[in-house]
Structure 1
Amino acid sequence: MDDFGSLVERPDAGIRRDSQERWRELLLPAGGLGKAAELADWLAAVQGQVPTRPITAPRAILFAADHGVAALDVSARTAGTTSDLVRAVLDGTAPASVLARQYGAHVEVVDMAVDCDPADLPEYVTAHRVRRGSGRIDIEDALTREEAEQAFRVGMAVADDQADSGTDLVLLGDLSVGGTTPAAVLIAALCGTDASVVTGRGSGIDDLAWMRKCAAIRDALRRARPVLGDQIALLAAVGGADFAAMTGFLLQAAVRKLPVVLDGVVSAACALVAQRIAFRAPDWWLAGHASGEPGQAKALDRISLEPLLDQGVHFGGATGSLLALPLVQAAAALSAELPHPGGKAEESGKPEEAGEPEADPEPEAEAEAGTDAT
């Protein structure tokens, strides 16, 4: 675990400055493309080249798990029904599936602790399952330490698989019932805040459910504080297998220089844990959107990430990170395709004849939902 601090490097600051200088040569008025140019500068730094390469192989990775704390009716969804969310993605009817088809992304679901018979889901989805469901974090640990370590290693392995297969951008998300409660606990514990500051409405709960959720977070915080110095112990005590896997994924993705777009409060909580392990890691991530969850805002502020979008989306399941995908693709395309001053095309991965526009860079293949084995 300690090795991540030295293994994670920062994106190339020199290349980022080269990208900024290039915009000054290309455009008048200076700064005319605003946030899109800043996003392209970030992409240039993480890709290690100017101009950037187009985003041609994005992939949405969804870690799935049920959380025992949902038994306290802290979610509008029935406890133990994450399998329904998984099936919607596999069937292509979930919002993430629709957006993935629209924007040319593939979707992969990784079952870490879904509370159903493994035979109810495809084997490639359940191949890495650590356990069935998790403990009720207000009174017991979510996982054993061994299970947390196993889940963390699964996340690392998934990141390696994506980097090795040529994925050039990951849209990270979760599928869970009750997941915003452990997310709030982790954020409150790591930011030193009270339960009420980070307790949101999650799946759309009413006032009574919000009070039950706040009480559960308060009780879990008492269990989290003694293990704040040990991130694996913290994930085992008040996180879950999906949280441990996402944390491992984020860290290994940073090691492999694979850029990641975060989704909602769950991925933000994992990012906050990962930052405690490797402080440079957030330089490889983007925050896709503002979900409206107070815990997400707190976590993103702590790791200095500003959401790309604020559209009031709080569905989860990588919906927000996928909505940010076309903005990232647009920034990459602008950097890759705008001609060099003097009318000469720059190298962007494809040759171009003088005076003729490049071909449409959008990917040809439609998204495939839930058909990739980890």
Structure 2
Amino acid sequence: MQFETLSDIHAALAAAPKPDATALEAAELRNGQLTKPPAALGRLEEVAIWYCGWRGNARAQIDAPQVIVFAGNHGITAQGVSAFPAEVTVQMVANFEAGGAAINQLSKLSGAKMDVHALDLEQPTADFTQGPAMDEAAFLAAFSTGWGAVDPTSDLLVVGEMGIGNTTAAAAMACALFGGTGGDWVGRGTGVDDAGLARKADVVARGIAANPEARSDPLTALRCLGGREIVAMAGALAAARANCIPVILDGFICTAAAACLEQARKGALDHCVAGHLSAEGGHRKLLDAIGKEPLLNLGLRLGEGSGAALAIQILKGALACHSGMASFAEAGVSAG
């Protein structure tokens, strides 16, 4: 789908489907009949029922997960916000394509098809301390790329990213969406020192000042302060919703992209769960703001979709129990 205006995106969010009420009810009924004490599997029960509702099947399972990594370059790297140079984005894309990154291993482990989309790496976004990172045409092109990258036959989606400077972009977006100061949202990203952390906070503050319109509209915040890969992630998340494909959200950057959709349309992330809590400073605040509790907390801060890809195993475990266990009647066990 090619989006031509911001209104097209708002219309797509408004038209997004809801979970299958019949499948949800049947999954909840089945959960109450399984050979276990009530709620003994904790959140595994909750996420299994959630997944079944979105797939329209009370005994669903995951057969065709997809992991997509989007890559983009950021003009704000000229401000010294990263411990690594912008050239690393191109080099890491080559590593993804060669199968050598952490996300390749975790995708393979989960049985996921992994795709990589590099978005105009030779043309970084503009330095948002001087004005908008993207014009509307570039923004819509990136969103359309993300939407089109989703395989409609997949049954679970993880989106990851690569882009030197993108934790600063995500912090600026979070600041525009939810308020506070740059210092409230920035983290160490690729491992910057204290001086680098202060520079990041200053860049966020200057970016907000240079783009005051970002505070008034979530999609404008995404355009003015984000990057092509972050916009593409948002497009993919929206496409997954249109196809009733459940999503596991990754870390701070992915969550910032997702938060723009939620702020633009309440309930836009109902098809998403948070895969993990990253070590990046503002991630917990961002998850709290969109009402998502992470499945894992392992101190990860790699990005790439790695934490969410690892959490595929948790969701698979939940569904293995939900869809594979016997009921009390089937097992001949007294329900008490």
Q: Shared fold (TM-score greater than 0.5)?
A: yes
Q: 2:41 aligns with which of 24, 27, 33?
A: 33
Distance 2:88 2:80 in 1: 13
Matched, 1:77 2:84: yes
Distance 1:79 1:6 in 2: 37
Distance 1:190 1:102 in 2: 35
Distance 2:51 2:162 in 1: 27
Match for residue 19 of structure 1?
27
- What are the Cα deviations for residues 103-147 of structure 1, in whole angstroms up to 9, with x where unaligned? 2112111111323xxxxxxxxxxxxxxxx2111111232112111
- What are the Cα deviations for residues 173-211 of structure 1, in whole angstroms up to 9, with x where unaligned? 101110001100111110012111101111111101101
Deviation of the 1:5 alpha carbon: 4.0
Q: 2:72 aligns with which of 65, 69, 79?
A: 65
Distance 1:9 1:109 in 2: 27
Match for residue 111 of structure 1?
118
Q: SS at 1:219's partner residue?
A: helix
RMSD: 1.7
Match for residue 287 of structure 1?
274
Distance 1:256 1:284 in 2: 10
Distance 1:88 1:338 in 2: 40
Pairing of 1:50-61 with structure 2 (within 5 A): 50-52=58-60, 54-61=61-68
Match for residue 15 of structure 2?
7
Distance 1:135 1:244 in 2: 14
What is the TM-score when the length of structure 2 is the normalising length?
Answer: 0.91
Match for residue 144 of structure 2?
153
Deviation of the 1:57 alpha carbon: 0.8
Runs of 4+ aligned residues of structure 1 deviating over 6 Å after TM superposition are none
Distance 2:212 2:289 in 1: 18
Q: 1:101 aligns with which of 108, 119, 126?
A: 108
1:55·1:329 contact (CA, 8 Å) conserved in 2? yes
2:146·2:233 contact (CA, 8 Å) conserved in 1? yes
Matched, 1:228 2:215: yes
Pairing of 1:179-218 with structure 2 (within 5 A): 179-218=166-205
Deviation of the 1:14 alpha carbon: 4.9
Deviation of the 1:226 alpha carbon: 2.1
What is the TM-score when the length of structure 1 is the normalising length?
Answer: 0.82
Match for residue 231 of structure 2?
244
1:113·1:134 contact (CA, 8 Å) conserved in 2? no
Q: 1:266 aligns with which of 248, 253, 257?
A: 253
Q: Percent identity?
A: 29
Matched, 1:324 2:311: yes
Distance 2:214 2:172 in 1: 13
Matched, 1:308 2:295: yes
Q: SS at 1:283's partner residue?
A: coil
Moved more, 98-107 or 219-228: 219-228
- What are the Cα deviations for residues 209-264 of structure 1, in whole angstroms up to 9, with x where unaligned? 10111100111111333243344433332112112221122112112211111111
Match for residue 240 of structure 2?
253
Distance 2:214 2:44 in 1: 41
Deviation of the 1:39 alpha carbon: 1.2
Moved more, 85-94 or 179-188: 85-94
Q: SS at 1:62's partner residue?
A: strand
Aligned residues: 323
Distance 1:38 1:232 in 2: 31
Match for residue 3 of structure 2?
none
2:129·2:206 contact (CA, 8 Å) conserved in 1? yes
Distance 2:194 2:17 in 1: 44
Q: SS at 1:203's partner residue?
A: coil
Distance 1:5 1:279 in 2: 9
